[in-house]
Structures are given as C-alpha cells and as structure tokens.
C-alpha cells in the first residue's frame, strides 16, 4: 500500500479521541495496510491510526524479532478489560522522535478488540506487549507517553522540545 507520514507532536490530532470503527470495510483495510507499511518502515513496534492522520480506533503491533508480519497483531476498537501489576520500560514514540523515558505501566493486561476477519479477540499480554497495548490505546484516547511523566520530567521534556525546535530553526 503506502508508507504514510507520521503525525508529530504537538499536532492537535494526537490529542483527539479517535472514533469507533463501525464497519470493517475496504477503507479500514487500506488504513491498516498503510499503518503496517508505515510501522515497519519507521521502524516501530506499534502504531495507532491517529499517528498516520486517521482518527479511527485501530492499533497494530509486532514485538517479534523477525518483524516480518508473522507476529503482527491488529486490533480494531481495542479496550483494556483487566489489568494488574506493574512494569517499567524505556518508552519512545514515533510521534515524539528522539525522546525516550522510563514509564511505569500495568504489567499484565487482558485486551479485547476485533480483528480484520471481524472476529472478537481477547489477548492476554505481559511486560513489553502490555506496554505496547497501553501506549497505543492511549493514542486512541488522545494521550501520549509523555503524559505519564512526573512534573519534573515534563519540565525537562519541555526544555528538550524547545531545544529541538531551536536546532531546526538554525
């Protein structure tokens, strides 16, 4: 299909709640193909539809070593049904390029959504997969990983962003 431009923070689209998908039609399938092409070329391990400018509740991820699509997970209208424990991971985001920080999230999840075959799926996730699901579902709710930072780290992030902006202008 096509590699799309990734929406970069502070674009307001990243702060919008995404719309539910009501029909898995050709338009939705094309969005998913574009997301897949974009994620693998970025390279990333997860992507949410708003990150390519599509205001739809779609996420995908692949935390496999091969990154050949054999471990690709696509979820439409995903929701976290259960969560427990904690897991800390150094997160980054394709929409906030160049910035990473340790974020503590839930360590185990049960996630429910629909696949491309229009079948409801429930996936149990731990550790890295749980982090990726939470990170991508946050995108669908207009939230970014930087929103999980402490006040001090948010201030450091703002300074980092200002420095990035100044470097681009010079």
C-alpha 88/C-alpha 107 separation (Å) is 8
C-alpha 91/C-alpha 128 separation (Å) is 10
Q: Are 35 and 47 in contact (CB under 8 A)?
A: yes
At residue 126's C-alpha, the angle toward residues 123 and 128, to 5°, is: 110
Q: 136 an active-site residue?
A: yes
C-alpha 75/C-alpha 125 separation (Å) is 13
Parallel, antiparallel or unpaired: strands 108-114 and 120-126? antiparallel
From the list 33, 91, 136, 155, the catalytic residue is 136
Where in the sequence numbering do the catalytic residues fall?
A: 136
């Amino acid at each position: 299909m096509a590699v799309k431009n990734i929406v970069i923070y502070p674009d307001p689209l990243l702060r919008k709640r995404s719309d539910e998908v009501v029909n898995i039609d050709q338009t939705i399938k094309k969005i998913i193909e574009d997301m897949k092409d974009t994620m693998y070329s970025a390279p990333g391990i997860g992507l949410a539809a708003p990150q390519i400018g599509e205001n739809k509740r779609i996420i995908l991820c692949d935390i496999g070593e091969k990154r050949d699509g054999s471990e690709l997970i696509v979820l439409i209208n995903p929701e976290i049904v259960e969560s427990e424990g904690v897991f800390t991971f150094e997160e980054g985001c394709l929409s906030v390029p160049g910035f990473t920080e340790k974020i503590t999230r839930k360590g185990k999840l049960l996630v429910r959504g629909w696949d491309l075959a229009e079948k409801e799926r429930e996936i149990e996730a731990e550790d890295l997969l749980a982090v990726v699901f939470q990170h991508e579902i946050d995108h669908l709710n207009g939230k970014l990983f930087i929103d999980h930072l402490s006040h001090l780290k948010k201030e450091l992030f703002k300074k980092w962003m200002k420095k990035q902006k100044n470097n681009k202008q010079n």
